[in-house]
Amino acid sequence: MAKKTFSCSACGASFSKWSGRCEGCGEWNTIAQDAGLSAGPASKSLGQKRGTPIQLSDLSTEETPPPRTCCGMGELDRVLGGGLVPASAILVGGDPGIGKSTLLLQAAARFALSGLKTIYVSGEEAPAQVRMRAQRLGLSDAPVKLAAETNLRDILTTLESEKPQLAIIDSIQTMWADNVDSAPGSVSQVRAAAHELTNFAKRKGISVIMVGHVTKDGQIAGPRVVEHMVDTVLYFEGERGHQFRILRAVKNRFGAADEIGVFEMTGGGLAEVTNPSALFLSERGEPSAGSVVFAGIEGTRPVLVELQALVAPSPHSQPRRTVVGWDGGRLAMILAVLEARCGIPFTGLDVYLNVAGGMKISEPAADLAVAAALLSAREDVALPADTVVFGEISLSGALRPAPQTENRLKEAQKLGFTSAIAPSGGKSISVSGLSLRKAPDLTGFVGEFFGAG
């Protein structure tokens, strides 16, 4: 007999027995017994009740990995790890209006044209509205089947009868499972729908792409267990004021995590950006104080972005520290190291830091570029326009070499940069047409390039 489990419809916490009050969120009368869709009567069963055991020794070691299907959108294929893997479950999240539905409709058309039988299920739009967007994108001739439904049982029944190779669910928050006593979009409904769709993908060999809304904090709405269920989690990012859109893989069982694909929003949909470094630097004008080019690595791809800093006297007793596209806590650490190790105070000064182009940077190798931008803005000294900077700063003021230094330098040389500033140490690397200037520590870097400290 299967063990009974109970969960809270408000917060999603699981319990082994029923109680009137949830210990996780404190709500009353929100705990109910869980019942899977496939655990119903035999006439309504969605799959086999029992699996077939397989001995581990019987598994063949000569089996080839499942073939991937490329859609022809190089940026999307790159983020997926080289193409779509059969029987995979993918979750795509992003802010409202950022272009998730547009991206997946274009991807559905490309996959269908490449030979995959594709079904696009929308729980937010009517088929006529989806068809209208497809005509605007020039995809009206794509062999994609459209459906508008929110009942999860009807969707799974249709998928089982149609037997597609790819199903796109837009969105998981609109799906409704009739065995869960809560409103669509609640934690229990989202978890149940994601669980059933993921299991269906594994049993039937169908690739399922689910769209997930995000909260005000930028996380996918619903319990974090949804991200653990699926194979791949992608975030579609971008600023409303910029036309750039970045598809980032935060989890991928079939490829590299932190891989990014860059798109540009146009009147005809999303266009691929094959050289994001040139695009992010296209609006960079004459060299000015506080502007520094950082040679970064996103996944396996080198990307050059511009860091902009502004340091101004503060009229308030508490100076402001404003950061866009970087970690605010790391900026506070860089300011503390500059004051403690180099004797350069920022007391009474407002500090603003921005990553141009709507890009978000998370790697520690941006520390030295941020310090250079702050010092350039504070001392009103502009670095040469043909120079890139990268390196990690430790709390002692020492500089640590960044990984994949050669790839960073090659990308900079390809875009016309002739000089690079990096920490000393590590293996010696030379790139033709580019001179590498090494700094032993932060104090030496400040004294050599800014004459301060």
Instruction: Report CA dihedral (207, 213, 218, 224) to the nearest 10 degrees.
Output: -60
**Tokens representing 255?**
């490829």
- CB-based contact 27:39 (threshold 8 Å): no
Which helix (DSSP H) or strand (DSSP E) does residue 392 occupy? Answer: strand 392-393
- Is 83 assigned to a binding site? no
Entry field: residues in the chain: 453
- CB-based contact 159:119 (threshold 8 Å): yes
Q: Could you tell me the strand order of the sheet in which 6-8 lies?
A: 14-15, 6-8, 31-33
- Token look-up 């890139």 returns 388
For residue 277, the number of C-alpha atoms closer than 13 Å in the C-beta half-sphere is 22
Amino acid at 377: A
3-state secondary structure of 360: coil
Q: Which stretches does DSSP call E strand in 99-174? A: 118-122, 144-148, 166-170
Cα distances (angstroms) measured from residue 250 to each of 152, 221, 253, 255, 258: 27, 16, 10, 11, 5
Q: Whose CA is closest to 390, among 274, 256, 288, 298?
A: 298
- Is 302 assigned to a binding site? no
**Tokens representing 170?**
């837009």
- Angle formed at CA 34 by CA 32 and CA 40, multiple of 5 degrees: 125
Q: Phi/psi of residue 117, each to 5°? A: -75, 115
- CB-based contact 382:286 (threshold 8 Å): no
- CB-based contact 35:196 (threshold 8 Å): no
- Is 100 assigned to a binding site? yes
- Is 97 assigned to a binding site? yes
- Is 98 assigned to a binding site? yes
Task: Say if strands 387-389 and 419-423 run parallel, antiparallel, or are unpaired.
Answer: parallel
Per the annotation, binding residues for ATP are: 94-101
